[in-house]
Structure 1
Amino acid sequence: MNGNPSARVRRNRIILVVVLAAAAVVALGAGLLLGGGGPFAAAKGAGSTPTPTETARPAPASTAPPASVDTFDRAKFSLDDPNSIWVVVNKLRPMNPQDFVPSDLVPVDVPYTNEPELRQEAADAVIAMFQAATDEAGLTLASNSAYRSYETQVNVYDGDDTLTARPGFSEHQTGLVMDIGAESGECSLDPCFADTPEGAWLRDNAWRFGFILRYPADKTDITGYAFEPWHFRYVGVELATEMHETGVTTLEEFFGLPPAPNYE
Protein backbone atom coordinates (compact mmCIF):
# COMPACT_ATOMS: atom_id res chain seq x y z
CA MET A 1 0.00 0.00 0.00
CA ASN A 2 2.97 2.27 0.43
CA GLY A 3 3.70 2.09 -3.32
CA ASN A 4 5.99 4.51 -5.08
CA PRO A 5 6.16 7.90 -3.30
CA SER A 6 6.49 9.83 -6.55
CA ALA A 7 3.28 8.32 -7.88
CA ARG A 8 1.43 9.26 -4.73
CA VAL A 9 2.55 12.88 -5.00
CA ARG A 10 1.36 13.13 -8.62
CA ARG A 11 -1.96 11.58 -7.72
CA ASN A 12 -2.49 14.00 -4.83
CA ARG A 13 -1.71 16.95 -7.12
CA ILE A 14 -4.28 15.77 -9.67
CA ILE A 15 -6.92 15.39 -6.95
CA LEU A 16 -6.17 18.91 -5.68
CA VAL A 17 -6.52 20.41 -9.16
CA VAL A 18 -9.83 18.63 -9.69
CA VAL A 19 -11.17 19.83 -6.33
CA LEU A 20 -10.12 23.44 -7.03
CA ALA A 21 -11.68 23.36 -10.48
CA ALA A 22 -14.93 22.02 -9.08
CA ALA A 23 -14.99 24.76 -6.45
CA ALA A 24 -14.45 27.42 -9.10
CA VAL A 25 -17.35 26.09 -11.15
CA VAL A 26 -19.62 26.09 -8.10
CA ALA A 27 -18.63 29.64 -7.20
CA LEU A 28 -19.25 30.87 -10.76
CA GLY A 29 -22.70 29.29 -10.86
CA ALA A 30 -23.65 30.88 -7.56
CA GLY A 31 -22.61 34.28 -8.83
CA LEU A 32 -24.72 33.99 -11.94
CA LEU A 33 -27.76 32.88 -9.93
CA LEU A 34 -27.47 35.86 -7.61
CA GLY A 35 -27.17 38.34 -10.49
CA GLY A 36 -23.59 39.04 -9.63
CA GLY A 37 -21.03 40.38 -11.99
CA GLY A 38 -18.36 37.90 -12.79
CA PRO A 39 -16.19 38.33 -15.78
CA PHE A 40 -19.03 37.85 -18.25
CA ALA A 41 -21.27 40.30 -16.46
CA ALA A 42 -18.50 42.85 -16.36
CA ALA A 43 -17.95 42.44 -20.06
CA LYS A 44 -21.64 42.83 -20.71
CA GLY A 45 -21.82 45.94 -18.58
CA ALA A 46 -18.83 47.51 -20.25
CA GLY A 47 -20.29 47.07 -23.70
CA SER A 48 -23.91 48.10 -22.99
CA THR A 49 -25.34 51.36 -24.36
CA PRO A 50 -26.99 53.70 -21.79
CA THR A 51 -30.69 54.46 -22.32
CA PRO A 52 -31.05 58.06 -23.53
CA THR A 53 -32.92 60.43 -21.19
CA GLU A 54 -35.84 62.38 -22.78
CA THR A 55 -35.29 66.13 -22.69
CA ALA A 56 -38.19 68.02 -21.11
CA ARG A 57 -39.84 70.43 -23.52
CA PRO A 58 -41.05 73.83 -22.27
CA ALA A 59 -44.81 74.31 -22.20
CA PRO A 60 -46.09 76.52 -25.01
CA ALA A 61 -46.63 80.09 -23.95
CA SER A 62 -50.27 80.93 -23.38
CA THR A 63 -51.74 83.25 -25.98
CA ALA A 64 -54.17 85.93 -24.89
CA PRO A 65 -57.44 85.98 -26.84
CA PRO A 66 -57.53 88.70 -29.47
CA ALA A 67 -58.98 91.96 -28.23
CA SER A 68 -62.40 92.77 -29.64
CA VAL A 69 -62.35 95.64 -32.08
CA ASP A 70 -65.21 98.11 -32.13
CA THR A 71 -65.96 98.56 -35.81
CA PHE A 72 -69.18 100.53 -35.39
CA ASP A 73 -68.89 103.95 -37.00
CA ARG A 74 -70.15 106.38 -34.37
CA ALA A 75 -69.46 109.32 -36.66
CA LYS A 76 -71.64 108.08 -39.52
CA PHE A 77 -74.37 110.63 -38.76
CA SER A 78 -74.34 113.96 -36.96
CA LEU A 79 -75.45 114.21 -33.34
CA ASP A 80 -76.10 117.94 -33.71
CA ASP A 81 -77.86 118.40 -37.04
CA PRO A 82 -81.64 118.32 -36.39
CA ASN A 83 -82.09 116.61 -39.78
CA SER A 84 -79.93 113.64 -38.67
CA ILE A 85 -81.64 110.49 -37.44
CA TRP A 86 -78.97 110.36 -34.73
CA VAL A 87 -79.49 113.90 -33.42
CA VAL A 88 -79.31 113.89 -29.62
CA VAL A 89 -81.76 116.20 -27.86
CA ASN A 90 -81.75 116.50 -24.09
CA LYS A 91 -81.67 119.12 -21.33
CA LEU A 92 -78.16 120.16 -22.34
CA ARG A 93 -78.71 119.85 -26.10
CA PRO A 94 -81.70 121.90 -27.34
CA MET A 95 -83.05 121.88 -30.87
CA ASN A 96 -81.02 124.17 -33.12
CA PRO A 97 -82.78 126.16 -34.36
CA GLN A 98 -85.34 126.01 -31.58
CA ASP A 99 -88.25 126.40 -34.02
CA PHE A 100 -86.98 123.57 -36.27
CA VAL A 101 -89.61 121.80 -38.38
CA PRO A 102 -88.68 118.60 -40.27
CA SER A 103 -89.13 118.97 -44.02
CA ASP A 104 -90.37 115.42 -44.65
CA LEU A 105 -93.23 115.03 -42.15
CA VAL A 106 -95.97 112.65 -43.28
CA PRO A 107 -99.16 111.32 -41.69
CA VAL A 108 -98.72 107.89 -40.11
CA ASP A 109 -101.41 105.37 -41.05
CA VAL A 110 -101.83 103.62 -37.69
CA PRO A 111 -104.50 103.68 -34.97
CA TYR A 112 -104.18 106.79 -32.84
CA THR A 113 -105.67 109.01 -30.15
CA ASN A 114 -104.06 112.12 -31.64
CA GLU A 115 -103.45 112.12 -35.38
CA PRO A 116 -99.72 111.42 -35.78
CA GLU A 117 -97.06 112.79 -38.08
CA LEU A 118 -93.44 111.61 -38.34
CA ARG A 119 -90.54 111.95 -40.70
CA GLN A 120 -90.96 109.60 -43.65
CA GLU A 121 -88.31 107.07 -42.58
CA ALA A 122 -89.65 106.83 -39.03
CA ALA A 123 -93.25 106.63 -40.27
CA ASP A 124 -92.45 103.66 -42.50
CA ALA A 125 -90.71 101.92 -39.60
CA VAL A 126 -93.65 102.50 -37.22
CA ILE A 127 -96.13 101.06 -39.69
CA ALA A 128 -93.97 97.94 -40.11
CA MET A 129 -93.58 97.59 -36.35
CA PHE A 130 -97.30 97.91 -35.63
CA GLN A 131 -98.04 95.29 -38.29
CA ALA A 132 -95.47 92.91 -36.80
CA ALA A 133 -97.01 93.27 -33.34
CA THR A 134 -100.33 92.16 -34.83
CA ASP A 135 -98.89 89.35 -36.96
CA GLU A 136 -96.53 87.96 -34.34
CA ALA A 137 -98.44 88.51 -31.10
CA GLY A 138 -102.00 89.44 -32.01
CA LEU A 139 -101.56 92.91 -30.48
CA THR A 140 -102.98 96.20 -31.71
CA LEU A 141 -100.86 99.24 -30.95
CA ALA A 142 -101.86 102.89 -31.17
CA SER A 143 -100.10 106.25 -31.33
CA ASN A 144 -100.76 108.61 -28.43
CA SER A 145 -98.43 111.37 -29.62
CA ALA A 146 -95.81 111.84 -32.33
CA TYR A 147 -94.34 115.02 -33.85
CA ARG A 148 -94.93 118.11 -31.73
CA SER A 149 -93.91 121.59 -32.85
CA TYR A 150 -92.22 124.15 -30.62
CA GLU A 151 -95.56 125.94 -30.24
CA THR A 152 -97.35 122.73 -29.28
CA GLN A 153 -94.70 121.99 -26.67
CA VAL A 154 -95.35 125.39 -25.09
CA ASN A 155 -98.85 124.14 -24.29
CA VAL A 156 -97.73 120.62 -23.30
CA TYR A 157 -95.01 121.64 -20.83
CA ASP A 158 -96.44 121.43 -17.31
CA GLY A 159 -93.50 122.73 -15.29
CA ASP A 160 -92.34 119.29 -14.07
CA ASP A 161 -88.92 118.85 -15.65
CA THR A 162 -88.80 115.09 -15.02
CA LEU A 163 -92.10 114.48 -16.82
CA THR A 164 -92.18 116.93 -19.73
CA ALA A 165 -89.55 118.76 -21.75
CA ARG A 166 -89.36 122.50 -22.03
CA PRO A 167 -90.16 124.00 -25.45
CA GLY A 168 -87.15 123.63 -27.74
CA PHE A 169 -85.80 120.67 -25.74
CA SER A 170 -88.35 118.00 -26.69
CA GLU A 171 -87.40 114.95 -28.77
CA HIS A 172 -90.90 115.02 -30.21
CA GLN A 173 -89.89 118.09 -32.23
CA THR A 174 -87.40 115.95 -34.21
CA GLY A 175 -90.24 114.03 -35.87
CA LEU A 176 -88.51 110.80 -34.83
CA VAL A 177 -90.51 109.97 -31.67
CA MET A 178 -93.81 108.30 -30.98
CA ASP A 179 -95.54 107.70 -27.68
CA ILE A 180 -97.09 104.26 -28.19
CA GLY A 181 -99.86 102.52 -26.28
CA ALA A 182 -102.41 99.77 -26.63
CA GLU A 183 -105.41 100.47 -28.83
CA SER A 184 -107.51 99.58 -25.78
CA GLY A 185 -106.02 102.55 -23.92
CA GLU A 186 -104.90 100.38 -21.03
CA CYS A 187 -102.11 102.15 -19.08
CA SER A 188 -101.65 104.75 -21.82
CA LEU A 189 -98.87 107.23 -20.94
CA ASP A 190 -98.48 105.50 -17.58
CA PRO A 191 -95.55 103.46 -16.17
CA CYS A 192 -97.87 100.45 -15.85
CA PHE A 193 -97.74 100.20 -19.66
CA ALA A 194 -94.45 98.35 -19.18
CA ASP A 195 -96.37 95.42 -17.68
CA THR A 196 -98.91 95.10 -20.47
CA PRO A 197 -98.45 92.65 -23.35
CA GLU A 198 -98.08 95.62 -25.71
CA GLY A 199 -95.42 97.26 -23.54
CA ALA A 200 -93.47 94.02 -23.16
CA TRP A 201 -93.56 93.33 -26.89
CA LEU A 202 -92.27 96.80 -27.72
CA ARG A 203 -89.52 96.54 -25.13
CA ASP A 204 -88.29 93.28 -26.65
CA ASN A 205 -88.80 94.00 -30.35
CA ALA A 206 -88.69 97.72 -31.11
CA TRP A 207 -84.95 97.57 -31.88
CA ARG A 208 -85.65 95.33 -34.85
CA PHE A 209 -87.43 98.26 -36.50
CA GLY A 210 -84.92 100.94 -35.54
CA PHE A 211 -86.46 102.20 -32.29
CA ILE A 212 -85.04 102.46 -28.77
CA LEU A 213 -86.85 102.94 -25.46
CA ARG A 214 -85.45 106.41 -24.87
CA TYR A 215 -86.08 106.85 -21.12
CA PRO A 216 -85.32 103.61 -19.24
CA ALA A 217 -86.34 103.18 -15.61
CA ASP A 218 -82.78 103.08 -14.28
CA LYS A 219 -81.31 105.98 -16.27
CA THR A 220 -83.09 109.08 -14.95
CA ASP A 221 -79.74 110.41 -13.74
CA ILE A 222 -78.51 110.18 -17.35
CA THR A 223 -81.55 111.26 -19.38
CA GLY A 224 -83.17 113.62 -16.88
CA TYR A 225 -86.59 112.02 -17.29
CA ALA A 226 -88.64 109.52 -15.30
CA PHE A 227 -89.36 106.08 -16.77
CA GLU A 228 -91.47 106.33 -19.94
CA PRO A 229 -92.11 102.82 -21.27
CA TRP A 230 -94.24 104.35 -24.04
CA HIS A 231 -91.68 106.80 -25.49
CA PHE A 232 -89.85 105.24 -28.46
CA ARG A 233 -87.24 107.09 -30.48
CA TYR A 234 -86.30 106.17 -34.04
CA VAL A 235 -82.52 105.96 -34.62
CA GLY A 236 -82.42 103.48 -37.51
CA VAL A 237 -81.97 99.72 -37.48
CA GLU A 238 -78.17 99.91 -37.55
CA LEU A 239 -77.80 101.94 -34.33
CA ALA A 240 -80.75 100.30 -32.56
CA THR A 241 -79.24 96.86 -33.24
CA GLU A 242 -75.80 97.91 -32.01
CA MET A 243 -77.25 99.31 -28.79
CA HIS A 244 -79.33 96.17 -28.29
CA GLU A 245 -76.34 93.87 -28.80
CA THR A 246 -73.99 95.88 -26.57
CA GLY A 247 -76.57 96.47 -23.86
CA VAL A 248 -76.13 100.26 -23.90
CA THR A 249 -79.55 101.80 -23.32
CA THR A 250 -79.10 105.57 -23.69
CA LEU A 251 -77.78 107.75 -26.50
CA GLU A 252 -75.75 109.73 -23.98
CA GLU A 253 -73.83 106.66 -22.85
CA PHE A 254 -73.43 105.18 -26.32
CA PHE A 255 -71.93 108.34 -27.79
CA GLY A 256 -69.98 109.33 -24.67
CA LEU A 257 -72.01 112.50 -24.06
CA PRO A 258 -72.37 114.11 -20.63
CA PRO A 259 -75.38 113.06 -18.53
CA ALA A 260 -78.20 115.59 -18.73
CA PRO A 261 -80.26 115.31 -15.55
CA ASN A 262 -80.84 119.07 -15.36
CA TYR A 263 -81.04 122.15 -17.54
CA GLU A 264 -78.09 124.53 -17.39
Structure 2
Amino acid sequence: MKKMILISLASVILLSSCGMKDAPQNSEEVNKKQPTTTEVTEKDKDKEDELTLAAAFFNEIEEVNGERIITNPDNIAVKVNQEARLPDEYRPEDLVEVDVPFMYETTDERNMLREEAAKALEQLFAAAEEEGYQLYAVSGFRPFSRQQMLYNQAVENQGKDQELVAMPGHSEHQTGLAMDVATDALTEEFGLTSEGIWVAEKAHQYGFVIRYPKGKEEITGYQYEPWHLRYVGKKVAADLVAYDYTLEEYFENVKKM
Protein backbone atom coordinates (compact mmCIF):
# COMPACT_ATOMS: atom_id res chain seq x y z
CA MET A 1 0.00 0.00 0.00
CA LYS A 2 1.45 3.30 -1.08
CA LYS A 3 2.12 6.05 1.43
CA MET A 4 -0.33 8.92 1.19
CA ILE A 5 1.37 12.24 0.61
CA LEU A 6 -0.33 15.32 2.01
CA ILE A 7 0.28 18.45 -0.04
CA SER A 8 -0.58 21.80 1.50
CA LEU A 9 -2.77 24.32 -0.29
CA ALA A 10 0.18 26.71 -0.46
CA SER A 11 2.26 24.08 -2.23
CA VAL A 12 -0.51 23.47 -4.74
CA ILE A 13 -0.75 27.19 -5.52
CA LEU A 14 3.02 27.47 -5.83
CA LEU A 15 3.22 24.53 -8.20
CA SER A 16 0.32 25.89 -10.27
CA SER A 17 2.01 29.28 -10.48
CA CYS A 18 5.25 27.72 -11.68
CA GLY A 19 3.38 25.86 -14.37
CA MET A 20 1.63 28.97 -15.58
CA LYS A 21 4.81 31.00 -15.60
CA ASP A 22 6.58 28.61 -17.94
CA ALA A 23 3.57 27.91 -20.15
CA PRO A 24 3.76 29.24 -23.74
CA GLN A 25 1.28 32.01 -24.51
CA ASN A 26 0.83 31.22 -28.18
CA SER A 27 -2.02 28.74 -28.74
CA GLU A 28 -0.26 27.28 -31.78
CA GLU A 29 2.82 26.63 -29.64
CA VAL A 30 0.63 24.94 -27.00
CA ASN A 31 -0.92 22.65 -29.59
CA LYS A 32 2.51 21.69 -30.87
CA LYS A 33 3.54 20.43 -27.44
CA GLN A 34 0.36 18.49 -26.64
CA PRO A 35 0.23 14.91 -27.97
CA THR A 36 -2.78 14.11 -30.09
CA THR A 37 -5.32 11.49 -29.06
CA THR A 38 -3.87 9.16 -31.65
CA GLU A 39 -0.35 9.63 -30.28
CA VAL A 40 -1.50 8.90 -26.72
CA THR A 41 -3.39 5.80 -27.86
CA GLU A 42 -0.38 4.50 -29.77
CA LYS A 43 1.89 5.16 -26.79
CA ASP A 44 -0.41 3.25 -24.45
CA LYS A 45 -0.65 0.43 -26.98
CA ASP A 46 3.12 0.22 -27.21
CA LYS A 47 3.34 0.10 -23.42
CA GLU A 48 0.91 -2.82 -23.22
CA ASP A 49 2.79 -4.58 -26.03
CA GLU A 50 5.76 -4.71 -23.67
CA LEU A 51 3.89 -7.10 -21.37
CA THR A 52 4.98 -10.60 -22.36
CA LEU A 53 5.36 -13.81 -20.41
CA ALA A 54 6.55 -17.32 -21.20
CA ALA A 55 3.75 -19.74 -22.03
CA ALA A 56 4.68 -22.00 -19.11
CA PHE A 57 3.35 -19.38 -16.67
CA PHE A 58 -0.20 -19.42 -18.02
CA ASN A 59 -2.89 -21.65 -16.54
CA GLU A 60 -3.69 -24.87 -18.34
CA ILE A 61 -7.33 -25.73 -17.71
CA GLU A 62 -9.44 -28.87 -17.97
CA GLU A 63 -13.17 -28.68 -17.36
CA VAL A 64 -14.50 -31.49 -15.18
CA ASN A 65 -18.16 -31.65 -14.13
CA GLY A 66 -18.55 -27.93 -14.78
CA GLU A 67 -15.46 -26.98 -12.77
CA ARG A 68 -12.32 -25.45 -14.28
CA ILE A 69 -9.39 -27.50 -12.94
CA ILE A 70 -5.82 -26.22 -13.22
CA THR A 71 -3.66 -29.00 -14.67
CA ASN A 72 -0.28 -27.25 -14.22
CA PRO A 73 -0.52 -26.21 -10.54
CA ASP A 74 3.29 -26.19 -10.08
CA ASN A 75 3.44 -23.05 -12.20
CA ILE A 76 4.90 -20.25 -10.01
CA ALA A 77 2.47 -17.71 -11.50
CA VAL A 78 -0.56 -20.01 -11.24
CA LYS A 79 -3.79 -18.03 -11.08
CA VAL A 80 -6.03 -19.59 -8.45
CA ASN A 81 -9.32 -17.80 -7.84
CA GLN A 82 -13.08 -18.33 -7.75
CA GLU A 83 -13.08 -19.26 -11.43
CA ALA A 84 -10.23 -21.78 -11.49
CA ARG A 85 -9.27 -24.31 -8.85
CA LEU A 86 -6.51 -26.71 -7.91
CA PRO A 87 -6.98 -30.49 -7.95
CA ASP A 88 -8.18 -31.79 -4.57
CA GLU A 89 -5.10 -33.94 -4.12
CA TYR A 90 -2.58 -31.28 -5.14
CA ARG A 91 0.34 -30.87 -2.76
CA PRO A 92 3.65 -29.27 -3.84
CA GLU A 93 6.58 -31.66 -3.69
CA ASP A 94 9.15 -29.01 -2.74
CA LEU A 95 7.65 -27.72 0.51
CA VAL A 96 10.20 -26.62 3.12
CA GLU A 97 10.01 -24.93 6.51
CA VAL A 98 10.46 -21.17 6.33
CA ASP A 99 13.15 -19.78 8.61
CA VAL A 100 11.38 -16.60 9.77
CA PRO A 101 9.70 -15.61 13.06
CA PHE A 102 6.17 -17.00 13.36
CA MET A 103 3.45 -15.38 15.41
CA TYR A 104 2.24 -18.70 16.78
CA GLU A 105 3.88 -22.03 17.46
CA THR A 106 2.42 -24.66 15.15
CA THR A 107 2.68 -28.40 14.77
CA ASP A 108 1.08 -28.50 11.33
CA GLU A 109 2.34 -27.29 7.94
CA ARG A 110 1.53 -23.59 8.23
CA ASN A 111 5.24 -22.84 8.56
CA MET A 112 5.98 -24.27 5.10
CA LEU A 113 6.22 -22.84 1.58
CA ARG A 114 7.59 -24.05 -1.69
CA GLU A 115 11.38 -23.78 -1.63
CA GLU A 116 11.70 -20.83 -4.03
CA ALA A 117 9.04 -18.84 -2.18
CA ALA A 118 10.51 -19.76 1.21
CA LYS A 119 13.95 -18.41 0.30
CA ALA A 120 12.40 -15.22 -1.06
CA LEU A 121 10.33 -14.71 2.09
CA GLU A 122 13.41 -15.16 4.26
CA GLN A 123 15.16 -12.45 2.23
CA LEU A 124 12.14 -10.15 2.57
CA PHE A 125 12.01 -10.62 6.36
CA ALA A 126 15.77 -10.06 6.66
CA ALA A 127 15.50 -6.80 4.69
CA ALA A 128 12.58 -5.63 6.83
CA GLU A 129 14.49 -6.36 10.04
CA GLU A 130 17.57 -4.55 8.73
CA GLU A 131 15.44 -1.46 8.17
CA GLY A 132 13.91 -1.70 11.64
CA TYR A 133 10.61 -3.45 10.88
CA GLN A 134 9.46 -6.55 12.76
CA LEU A 135 7.27 -8.94 10.78
CA TYR A 136 5.74 -12.25 11.79
CA ALA A 137 4.57 -15.05 9.54
CA VAL A 138 1.16 -16.47 10.38
CA SER A 139 0.01 -19.06 7.87
CA GLY A 140 1.62 -20.56 4.78
CA PHE A 141 0.82 -23.90 3.14
CA ARG A 142 -2.65 -25.26 3.74
CA PRO A 143 -3.79 -28.60 2.34
CA PHE A 144 -7.23 -29.13 0.79
CA SER A 145 -8.55 -30.88 3.92
CA ARG A 146 -7.71 -27.97 6.24
CA GLN A 147 -9.15 -25.46 3.78
CA GLN A 148 -12.36 -27.48 3.75
CA MET A 149 -12.58 -27.28 7.54
CA LEU A 150 -11.91 -23.51 7.63
CA TYR A 151 -14.42 -22.87 4.84
CA ASN A 152 -17.15 -24.84 6.61
CA GLN A 153 -16.52 -22.87 9.81
CA ALA A 154 -16.67 -19.54 7.97
CA VAL A 155 -19.95 -20.44 6.26
CA GLU A 156 -21.44 -21.59 9.55
CA ASN A 157 -20.41 -18.37 11.32
CA GLN A 158 -20.86 -15.78 8.56
CA GLY A 159 -23.08 -17.34 5.92
CA LYS A 160 -22.52 -18.53 2.35
CA ASP A 161 -21.76 -15.00 1.14
CA GLN A 162 -18.63 -14.66 3.31
CA GLU A 163 -15.58 -13.45 1.33
CA LEU A 164 -12.77 -14.15 3.76
CA VAL A 165 -12.17 -17.88 3.38
CA ALA A 166 -11.85 -19.39 -0.09
CA MET A 167 -13.63 -22.58 -1.05
CA PRO A 168 -11.43 -25.68 -0.84
CA GLY A 169 -9.39 -26.01 -4.02
CA HIS A 170 -9.66 -22.28 -4.64
CA SER A 171 -7.21 -21.17 -1.96
CA GLU A 172 -3.76 -19.84 -2.81
CA HIS A 173 -2.47 -21.34 0.41
CA GLN A 174 -2.76 -24.79 -1.18
CA THR A 175 -0.21 -23.71 -3.81
CA GLY A 176 2.49 -23.29 -1.17
CA LEU A 177 3.15 -19.83 -2.62
CA ALA A 178 1.14 -17.69 -0.17
CA MET A 179 1.99 -16.52 3.33
CA ASP A 180 -0.02 -14.34 5.69
CA VAL A 181 2.19 -11.87 7.53
CA ALA A 182 1.41 -9.37 10.27
CA THR A 183 2.65 -7.58 13.35
CA ASP A 184 -0.37 -8.53 15.47
CA ALA A 185 -3.69 -9.84 14.16
CA LEU A 186 -4.74 -10.37 10.55
CA THR A 187 -6.77 -7.20 10.11
CA GLU A 188 -6.97 -4.40 7.57
CA GLU A 189 -5.22 -2.15 10.10
CA PHE A 190 -1.97 -3.94 9.27
CA GLY A 191 -1.95 -1.99 6.00
CA LEU A 192 -1.76 1.26 7.99
CA THR A 193 1.18 0.22 10.15
CA SER A 194 4.74 1.13 9.24
CA GLU A 195 5.42 -2.57 8.64
CA GLY A 196 2.37 -2.93 6.41
CA ILE A 197 3.36 0.13 4.39
CA TRP A 198 6.90 -1.19 4.02
CA VAL A 199 5.60 -4.56 2.81
CA ALA A 200 3.29 -2.91 0.27
CA GLU A 201 6.18 -0.89 -1.13
CA LYS A 202 8.96 -3.48 -1.02
CA ALA A 203 7.45 -6.95 -1.39
CA HIS A 204 7.67 -7.00 -5.20
CA GLN A 205 11.45 -6.66 -4.98
CA TYR A 206 11.44 -10.18 -3.53
CA GLY A 207 8.83 -11.61 -5.90
CA PHE A 208 5.77 -11.12 -3.67
CA VAL A 209 2.63 -9.02 -4.13
CA ILE A 210 -0.38 -8.18 -2.00
CA ARG A 211 -2.74 -10.52 -3.79
CA TYR A 212 -6.00 -8.89 -2.69
CA PRO A 213 -5.44 -5.11 -2.83
CA LYS A 214 -7.82 -2.40 -1.72
CA GLY A 215 -10.19 -1.17 -4.41
CA LYS A 216 -9.92 -4.38 -6.45
CA GLU A 217 -12.42 -6.48 -4.54
CA GLU A 218 -14.80 -6.90 -7.48
CA ILE A 219 -11.93 -8.19 -9.61
CA THR A 220 -10.32 -10.59 -7.14
CA GLY A 221 -13.57 -11.68 -5.52
CA TYR A 222 -12.14 -11.18 -2.04
CA GLN A 223 -11.98 -8.38 0.49
CA TYR A 224 -8.84 -6.30 0.98
CA GLU A 225 -6.14 -8.36 2.68
CA PRO A 226 -2.92 -6.39 3.25
CA TRP A 227 -1.49 -9.39 5.09
CA HIS A 228 -1.83 -11.94 2.26
CA LEU A 229 1.44 -12.13 0.33
CA ARG A 230 1.63 -14.23 -2.81
CA TYR A 231 4.87 -15.26 -4.47
CA VAL A 232 4.79 -14.90 -8.27
CA GLY A 233 8.50 -14.32 -8.99
CA LYS A 234 10.28 -11.01 -9.46
CA LYS A 235 9.36 -10.51 -13.12
CA VAL A 236 5.60 -10.91 -12.67
CA ALA A 237 5.64 -9.03 -9.36
CA ALA A 238 7.39 -6.06 -10.99
CA ASP A 239 4.83 -6.05 -13.82
CA LEU A 240 1.88 -6.16 -11.41
CA VAL A 241 3.22 -3.20 -9.45
CA ALA A 242 4.19 -1.18 -12.55
CA TYR A 243 0.72 -1.52 -14.08
CA ASP A 244 -1.24 -1.60 -10.79
CA TYR A 245 -2.72 -4.94 -11.87
CA THR A 246 -4.15 -7.82 -9.92
CA LEU A 247 -3.21 -11.27 -11.19
CA GLU A 248 -6.59 -11.39 -12.96
CA GLU A 249 -5.97 -8.11 -14.80
CA TYR A 250 -2.41 -9.11 -15.63
CA PHE A 251 -3.38 -12.30 -17.43
CA GLU A 252 -6.03 -10.40 -19.38
CA ASN A 253 -3.33 -8.14 -20.81
CA VAL A 254 -0.02 -10.01 -20.89
CA LYS A 255 0.91 -11.70 -24.16
CA LYS A 256 2.07 -15.28 -24.31
CA MET A 257 5.62 -15.66 -25.67
When normalised by structure 1's length, the TM-score is 0.67
Q: Could you tell me how far apart the structure 1 residues matched to 2:199 and 2:168 are?
A: 27
Report if aligned partners of 1:133, 1:141 keep a CA contact under 8 Å in 2. yes
AA paired with 1:251? L
Q: Could you tell me how far apart the structure 1 residues matched to 2:182 and 2:100 are?
A: 12
Pairing partner for 1:149 from 143, 148, 152: 143
Deviations 1:210-252 (A, max 9, x none): 011011121111111111110010000001011112222x111
In the other structure, the counterpart of 2:95 is 105
In the other structure, the counterpart of 2:51 is 72
Pairing partner for 2:199 from 176, 197, 202: 202
Alignment of 1:50-65 (within 5 A): none
In the other structure, the counterpart of 2:10 is none
AA paired with 1:252? E
Q: Could you tell me how far apart the structure 1 residues matched to 2:222 and 2:194 are?
A: 24
Seq. identity, %:
41
Matched, 1:167 2:198: no
In the other structure, the counterpart of 1:176 is 177
Secondary structure of the equivalent of 1:217?
coil
In the other structure, the counterpart of 2:22 is none
The alignment yields a C-alpha RMSD, in angstroms, of 2.1
Alignment of 1:213-224 (within 5 A): 213-224=210-221
Report the count of equivalent residues.
190
Pairing partner for 2:81 from 72, 82, 90: 90
AA paired with 1:85? I
Q: Could you tell me how far apart the structure 2 residues matched to 1:78 and 1:152 are?
A: 27
Q: Could you tell me how far apart the structure 2 residues matched to 1:133 and 1:174 are?
A: 25
Q: Could you tell me how far apart the structure 2 residues matched to 1:244 and 1:151 are?
A: 33
Deviations 1:160-194 (A, max 9, x none): 53110111111100000000012xx2xx2111111
Q: Could you tell me how far apart the structure 1 residues matched to 2:99 and 2:175 are?
A: 19
AA paired with 2:99? D
Q: Could you tell me how far apart the structure 2 residues matched to 1:207 and 1:163 are?
A: 23
Q: Could you tell me how far apart the structure 1 residues matched to 2:222 and 2:202 are?
A: 22
Deviation at 1:75, TM superposition (A): 3.8
Give unpaired runs (5+ residues) of structure 1: 1-61, 258-264
Q: Could you tell me how far apart the structure 1 residues matched to 2:243 and 2:171 are?
A: 26
Matched, 1:226 2:223: yes
Query: Greater relative contact order: 1 or 2 (C-alpha under 8 angstroms, separation 6 or more)?
Result: 2
Q: Could you tell me how far apart the structure 2 residues matched to 1:220 and 1:246 are?
A: 17
Pairing partner for 1:127 from 115, 122, 127: 122
Give unpaired runs (5+ residues) of structure 2: 1-34, 61-71
Pairing partner for 2:232 from 230, 235, 242: 235
Report if aligned partners of 1:210, 1:238 keep a CA contact under 8 Å in 2. yes
Deviation at 1:110, TM superposition (A): 0.5
AA paired with 2:250? F
AA paired with 2:238? T
- When structure 1 is superposed on structure 2, of 142-151 and 64-73 the one drifting more is 64-73
Deviation at 1:71, TM superposition (A): 2.9
Secondary structure of the equivalent of 2:89?
coil
Q: Could you tell me how far apart the structure 1 residues matched to 2:54 and 2:215 are?
A: 27
Higher Rg: 1
When normalised by structure 2's length, the TM-score is 0.69
Whichever structure has more strand as a proportion of its residues is 2
